[in-house]
């Protein structure tokens, strides 16, 4: 068996190959290009075929690593913290360079391979769903950023508009701001104009809302110079275009994710849970995957999702702290999942409130609920059995006894 450590960079990659005894067989640098990849593959092919190849890198998201993985090589993604701490084995003085890091990565696989899991092999269906979910989350983040910019823009010249709506990401708000982009335009708004906007926007209480804003329009506003109003209203129109485009794209992403989720054989496991919609189910499908042997036990999933706390014991002293080393997207998914479980499942709500009474923060309480649910989700996923509250409550009573 041979071990390859790759230290990734934008333009070049340092590579080290170790034999089973830890002897350095080769150290070289390749460019981040198809030619560089071919150079590495030629070197790998020079190793006898009966000797397996294991590859380690700090991040599996580089195209360079993904291609190696797609070719069938076993690739391990090793946390940079592990690499940093293992580096002292080679240089207690704390020296660091890319060449040494490649040896550290390869040697970690040689000596501590049992501590790490290789990158999961997913089929095309799951890869597509994973990218859709990830890209949708990026678009949601961009949407929030644009909303914040709109709020900031309105505060600079037109704060009264922020009193009209609690949400910016809705068609009726965008239509209102397009119709009345300045304080003067809003001052001249009539009830009939406002009613038309809210009626066309399908506002459930369009008459009441129109009357409310018609009165608000007549109230005195801050005096702002015309140069500021002209420039900021122009900027507002630009931001509204971005907001509209993001909302349209997010709607299409939602439709595509909904369609894919329903086609997955495991979708029923998650969609049958009260409070879980297609988007949340898609995120759970992506994180659990299809390989039932990838996670050996529930605690492995809990650690990866960041819900399991880190316990430190020294003598009589014991501390429990927040787990930072995890998949951040998985942790966010489970936080959102826990919020829904507290809303729709009575025992989850009781668990949440019990820990709130003990003085824990909301985030910590949701994490406790998520940690409990991950045991259930793991059992459901492993056995392909839908959630049955009676089974959980019976198991809980047996533990109490």
Each of the 401 residues of the chain gets a pLDDT tens digit; together they read 899 999 988 899 999 999 988 899 999 999 999 999 999 999 998 888 778 899 999 877 778 888 888 888 999 988 888 888 887 776 665 556 678 889 999 999 998 888 888 888 888 899 999 999 999 999 999 999 999 999 999 999 999 999 998 899 999 999 999 999 999 999 999 999 999 999 998 888 889 999 999 999 888 888 889 999 999 999 999 999 999 999 999 999 999 999 999 999 999 999 999 999 999 999 999 999 999 989 889 999 999 999 988 877 777 777 777 887 788 999 999 999 999 999 999 999 999 999 999 999 999 999 999 999 999 999 999 999 999 888 767 777 666 55
Say if strands 2-7 and 53-57 run parallel, antiparallel, or are unpaired: parallel
**Block residue for tokens 């907001």:** 243
pLDDT of res. 1: 87
Contact 371, 299 (CB under 8 A): no
Contact 184, 280 (CB under 8 A): no
Contact 228, 156 (CB under 8 A): yes
C-alpha 56/C-alpha 360 separation (Å) is 39
In angstroms, the Cα distances linking 303 to 88, 298, 306, 308, 385 are: 25, 9, 5, 5, 23
Contact 27, 7 (CB under 8 A): no
DSSP 55-80: EEES-TTSHHHHHHHHTT-EEEE--H
pLDDT of res. 66: 87
In angstroms, the Cα distances linking 46 to 17, 39, 74 are: 12, 11, 17
């Amino acid at each position: 068996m041979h071990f390859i450590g790759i230290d990734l960079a934008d333009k070049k990659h340092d590579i080290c190959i170790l034999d089973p005894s830890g002897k350095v067989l080769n150290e070289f640098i390749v460019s981040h290009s198809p030619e560089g990849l071919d150079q590495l593959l030629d070197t790998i092919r020079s190793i006898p075929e009966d000797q397996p190849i294991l590859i380690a890198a700090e991040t599996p998201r580089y195209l360079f690593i993904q291609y190696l993985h797609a070719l069938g090589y076993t690739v391990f993604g090793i946390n940079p913290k592990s690499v940093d701490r293992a580096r002292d084995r080679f240089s207690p003085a704390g020296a660091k360079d890319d060449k040494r890091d490649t040896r550290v990565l390869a040697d970690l696989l040689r000596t501590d391979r049992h501590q790490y899991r290789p990158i999961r092999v997913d089929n095309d269906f799951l890869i597509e769903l994973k990218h859709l979910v990830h890209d949708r989350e990026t678009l949601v983040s961009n949407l929030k950023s644009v909303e914040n910019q709109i709020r900031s823009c309105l505060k600079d010249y037109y704060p009264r508009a922020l009193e009209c709506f609690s949400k910016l990401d809705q068609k009726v708000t965008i239509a209102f701001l397009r119709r009345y982009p300045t304080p003067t335009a809003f001052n001249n708004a009539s009830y009939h104009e406002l009613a038309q906007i809210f009626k066309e926007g399908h506002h459930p209480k369009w008459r009441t809302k129109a009357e409310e804003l018609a009165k608000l329009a007549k109230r005195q506003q801050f005096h702002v110079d015309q140069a500021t109003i002209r420039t900021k209203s122009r900027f507002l129109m630009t931001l509204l275009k971005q907001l509209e485009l993001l909302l349209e794209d997010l709607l299409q992403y939602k439709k595509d994710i909904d369609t894919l989720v329903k086609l997955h054989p495991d979708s029923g496991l998650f969609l049958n849970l009260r409070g879980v919609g297609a988007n949340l189910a898609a995120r759970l499908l992506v994180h659990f995957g299809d390989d039932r042997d990838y996670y050996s036990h529930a605690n492995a999933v809990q650690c990866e999702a960041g819900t399991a706390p880190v316990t430190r014991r020294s003598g009589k002293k014991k501390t429990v702290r927040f787990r930072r080393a995890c998949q951040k997207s998985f942790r966010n998914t489970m936080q959102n999942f826990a919020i829904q479980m507290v809303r729709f499942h009575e025992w989850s709500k009781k668990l949440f409130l019990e820990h709130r009474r003990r003085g824990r923060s909301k985030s910590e309480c949701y994490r406790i609920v998520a940690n409990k649910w991950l045991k259930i989700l793991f059992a459901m996923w492993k056995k392909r059995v839908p959630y049955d509250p009676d089974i959980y409550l019976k198991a809980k009573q047996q533990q109490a006894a």
